[in-house]
Structure 1
Amino acid sequence: MHHLLIVDDEILAAQGIKNGINWGSMGFSSVSVAHNVTQAKEIIGKHRVDVMICDIEMPRGNGIELLQWVKEHNPSVEAVFLTCHANFQYAQQAVQLGSLDYLLKPVRFDELEASIRKAVQKIEAELLKLQQSESMQKYQALWSKHQPVFVERFWSELLQRQLPPDQTRIEEIIERKNLPIKAAMLFIPVLISVQEWSKPYSVRELKLMEYAIRNAAIYAMELEQMQGQVLSSFNGKWVVLVPQEHPRTQDHRSISKACEQFITLSHRHFSCRLSCYVGRPIAITGIPDQVDSLLEMDTENVTMSNRVLVLGETPKQAPGAAVSQIDEWLELMKLLSKDELLRGIEQYCGRLKRHGCSAQELKEFQHDFLQMIYHVLQLKGLQARMVFSDSTDSIAFAVRSVDHLQEWAKYVVLKAIRSVETIEESHTVVEKAKKFIAENIDKNLSREVVAEHVCLSPDHLTRVFKKKTGKAISEYLMEERIRHAKHLLTFTDFSISEVASSVGYINFSHFSKIFRRMTNMNPLDFRKRYRTGGRPVN
């Protein structure tokens, strides 16, 4: 709602204007009256005024002076002069000061009303313009704040092939979204791939390290002032899009040098091994295909780290470099020749790194190597799933690089040989099984549980145990339980059910039945006999 001020020294005239028009219907919520310039200034100083109807000749100053003061202190006020003086000089000054109209007394109410309506329309038009301007400023501020997110989303959608591979359509999207990207530009994609961290990190630590590497890439490749972009991919990979007009992209040597500096920086400060794969200048629509080619290069790179590799310039591998010596190693494995076998694996991996090999060849070697290990374990009566139950995740990790393969092969060999050496020392195995039974006599033990503890198959452990003790494991376990039960019945105040539970029997009647069979008396009779002075039966 608007506010009106009537300034006229004629009291009746001022009241007549106030009461003669329905000001509420025109959008006015209040109408104030002043009879001189001083009163008018006080009202304007204390209250909001949108439209002023003002006489010219008044005591204590005239209307022209008042309007001049109003425009200095509140220039948004619209003024309409209502006077008895048809003075050209007054009219000229009024127009110069921005008066909306100059009316002569006596005035018809409809004429005055029409003039005031023009003032209201002008005020509302200015208000709408101001609101639109403020909304635009807010929108522009919001856009500026979130612009990096919109730009990154555009590139991410492009790489994920969610945008049409058409130059015209790409231009339309960039224009519609008002993105700061030149659709006709060429970009050089660079793939950054972390091949190994120096140590295991928590999820939070890994996020911090990845954030640091991203910032280091922006710094090393000087992307701050250009339309370059660093996009997070997955599993420690980033795609960097460097504009061709960037100083670093004048030739491949410049951008490769920047990548080398970045690798050195990352290795020194973030303790990781990584490689950079540099593409060729390409239009926006061709970026997804070229990034796929760089990802394929990374997958195939199993021999080099902390290197810069350029698309189309990957070194050729020597023919036959990945031929292994599985047959020779099989014999060494049977003989448990640990040191000689590990030297052979080290020499083989060194040859792969010197001459190169593919990821597929690493996978094929891994299958052959595992087949060799499993064959030896089978010969020795061991089950592979028991020997390697804690290392299933390392199989996929092993073919990431030759270094990982060598580390994995060493682990597998040492684990397998230790297991074989354990079963070949049957005395040690039997003693280990006995100790395990003694320490867990109160648990639900079985032949399978004991065999798993000593890393043997149940059948093989049974053969070794019986050969050494003359008893099956189940027989030995029953005897140990009854022997321990007799001790508890003789020297403790445990109830019969507590004794049964202490030697691994959940079912009381089953315990009593076994006890009677082994001692020719039930547990209660046994306690009565041997707690009254006799000695416990062995």
Structure 2
Amino acid sequence: MNVLLVDDQKAIVESLKKGIHWENLPVRQVYTACSAKEAKLVLRNFEVDVLVSDIEMPEENGLSLCRWAKEQFQEIECIFLTSHADFAYAKEAIAMGGFDYVLQPVKYREVEAVLLKAWDKISSRKKLRRLENTRKLVIEQRNTILDAMLSKMLRDKGEEADQIYRHFAEMFRMEYDNCTVHPVLVQILKWKRLSDTWEENLVRMTLCNIAEELFADRDVRAGISCLREDRYWLFLVAEKGAVGDDLWHRRLKEFYSFVNENMDFSVGVYPIAELEEDLTFSQVFGRLGRRAEGNKEKKPGIYWEDVETVGHAEETNPIDTAVSYIRKNLSKNISRAEVAELVHLNEEYFSRLFRQETGDTFKDFVLLEKMKAAKKLLAETHPSVSIVASKVGYDNFSHFSKMFKKMTEVTPQEYRKDRQKR
């Protein structure tokens, strides 16, 4: 930790700096100041964990300095040096944010003891923050893995998705002796505020938090994935046997009621009814997906039973749909926003998913497809280059020629001449 010593008497500051056995304390750096003004300058420019200050100083006293420091740096600890044995005065210092106080004339051992107490508090707080940051990182990793699993499923790679699902529980081996995964599909059916939908990450976080809170007494953890804006795959993980069928049914009803009564959207909830079933993710995906597809009227509720549907019941890959749309509409000026809306995805999320699936940004992919189509037209047909340009969405002939040469290192005319010679 870093410590700042403040007293209007320079001799006292120097005495503290020399007299305290800093080598026996977890202190990296000791700063000094002889006024509140100097102290503020140090605090603005250096990281300080503990402020040790005299209370009575001219111009601005230690109480005022500590109050300012707490406003600017909430986690700083303040220790007061005071010649007042009056407990009421010291109590005021503690009440307004001070950590402790030492009576003057100062005994170095007392200061050392108080600094060690401050370090215990600071280190505990830092440890909690590290644990919280680690927990957030683990949650992000779990959700990333779930995204990969769902992506595999949508790309008809069910075996790979099933393998990821089997190993998903292993990520909780530090928290449970023998855990089990309970999947639920949550479908947003209608937004109550049509002009103010939430960011996808906020929906994810909200659904996870509600679920974990409702199952908190069973120490349940939640992971979530979403590759379509309206469908969220929620995975609740608990110690095997901790959540029985009756509790599962009761708490999911509470989950459904809370979301529909308090959130800005209404939902359909599609859970696995019998928790003892040992299902692959392919089976879960198909079964719950069919229930969502069967809710054609989009009525809110909990749907425990499987339904029969006509035609395909499983979700189609939104990126496959996007790619197909791009290739069929190369003569148009296709925008990312337009295609994202077509596949019902948030634009930013669509952009990330598109690059993950295709290896190209949306803009680069469209350009490559246009140039690929242009090369085919130039090589196999005889319309003028300007007509070829218009067929791949370029109104400006010179711009098309410039982009074509940039991609192929030859002009459209040179490309046609070379290809039609062969």
Higher helix proportion? 1
Fold match by TM threshold 0.5 = no
Q: Under a length normalisation based on structure 2, what TM-score does the superposition of the two structures give?
A: 0.42
Larger radius of gyration, structure 1 or 2?
A: 1
